[in-house]
Amino acid sequence: MSKIKDPERGNLQFPMEIRYQRVKRGRGSAVGVGKALQMSSREILFTTQHPLKRGERVRLAVDWPAMLEKDCLTKLEIRGSVVQSEPGRAAVGIASYIVTESL
């Protein structure tokens, strides 16, 4: 059973692919791929390939399952800090986000 729990996050009907990157002093490091498991307007819970520490700043790119202008796939780009972590999973508090076209 998971140690990370937050009843305010909604369970996703289908996990979305997510790419994450640690950010240190504006530079990226330790890139990984995972699946978004739960999401709310304030936090996102996802699987990780690398351990992430509480307080680390990260950038996330989520392949969003909606179309922009009915003909273009979208990507959700999130910036925030790790608020909870356990082996293989982390929750990030959303500081900012932007929706862009997925290439």
Structural domain spans, the chain: 10-101
Report d(CA 28, CA 65) in Å as an integer: 26
Q: Which pTM does this prediction carry?
A: 0.79
pLDDT digit string, tens, across residues 51-96 = 999 999 999 999 877 665 666 678 899 999 999 999 999 999 999 9
Between the alpha carbon of residue 52 and those of residues 10, 46, 65, 94, the distances in Å are 22, 11, 26, 15
Q: Is pLDDT of 21 > 70?
A: yes
pLDDT at 19 over 60: yes
Q: Which pLDDT value is given to residue 31?
A: 86
What is the fold of 10-101?
A: Pnp Oxidase; Chain A (2.30.110)
Q: What b/e readout covers 25-57, taking b as 16+ CB neighbours within 10 angstroms?
A: eeeeebebebbbbbbeeebbbbbbeeebeeebb
Poorest-pLDDT segment among 8-12, 36-40, 87-91: 8-12
